[in-house]
Structure 1
Amino acid sequence: MSRLHIAAAAFLLLSLTACSGASMDDSTEASTRPPFLTTTPGPVSASGAPTDVPPARWDAIVADLIARDVTGAPELVSAKAVTWNNGALGCPKPGASYTQALVDGMRVIVRVDGETYDYRFGSTDSPKLCER
């Protein structure tokens, strides 16, 4: 065997073994990690808005509640980033048509005086109250 063949074989052997590492099944790390929680009331900013809801969206929710003659102080129940399947934001109205594209947004649940309100956001800061 020539030196060229030996060098090529050594290079190939090193290349193949360098790529092997931990096994492909590293599921123990994922299974021991605690879940990411988004449903805590959480801290509030100086303005009284929850820190996990952008201020513009919180202000829009408060304004919508005021327009609906809801007078109590809203309390955050949960806030979660969501990718909606279409422009209905997970809350379609019968007979309406919606953009058929994935929409990155947010779902914010608030409670006022024992009543729960389910707000949906798409790519803008305009809330949509899901009334089912």
Structure 2
Amino acid sequence: MRRTPILTVIALAALALTSCSSGSTDPAPELSGVSPSTRPPLQTTTPGPIGPSGPAIAVPQSRWDALVADLTKRGVTGTPQLVSSEAVTFNDGSLGCPSPGQSYTQAQIDGMRVVVSVDSKTYDYRFGQGAEPKLCGA
């Protein structure tokens, strides 16, 4: 006696599942009267260098000292020469130098970009609100 209700439930479940099927096995059914999109496919690009978003500015002594200390810590022994320094509004906490797998604040950050040269090698440093330098491309 108990088999009849169980078999009935199984039969109704199977019927419900098969009735939901559209009958088509084509994953991309054709739509009549609809032409393919004329819009070009989405293309992504790798972000290029960040241009200045503000005027050229003088590097505060505390930031210059931090930059020189960072170069020294990296084993750079020459005297750094200032190539450029400019105010930049960065789009997020990466300061324009994201690292793979790292998450950053999603807020604009006023900071500066300082490019120096030591023995014909260029170093691109970024500063946010503090005096801690971030070497871009390291």
What's the TM-score, normalizing by structure 1?
Answer: 0.61
Distance 1:37-1:121 versus aligned 2 partners, 3 A rule: closer
Q: Which has the larger radius of gyration?
A: 2
Assess if the C-alpha contact under 8 Å between 2:55 and 2:86 holds in 1. no
Alignment partner, residue 126 of structure 2: 120
Q: CA deviation at 1:37?
A: 6.8
Q: How does 1:1-40 map to 2 (within 5 A)?
A: 38=56
Q: Which residues of structure 2 form unaligned runs of 5+?
A: 1-53
Q: What percentage of aligned pairs have identical amino acids? A: 62
Q: Does 2:79 correspond to 1:67?
A: no
RMSD: 1.7
Q: Which runs of 4+ in 1 moved over 3 A?
A: none
Match of 2:93 among 68, 87, 96: 87
Q: Which residues of structure 1 form unaligned runs of 5+?
A: 1-35, 39-50
CA distance in structure 2 between the aligned counterparts of 1:116 and 1:52, rounded to whole angstroms: 18
* Larger helix proportion of the pair: 1
**SS of match in other structure, 1:64:** helix
User: How many residues are matched?
Assistant: 85
The one-letter amino acid of 1:80's match is E
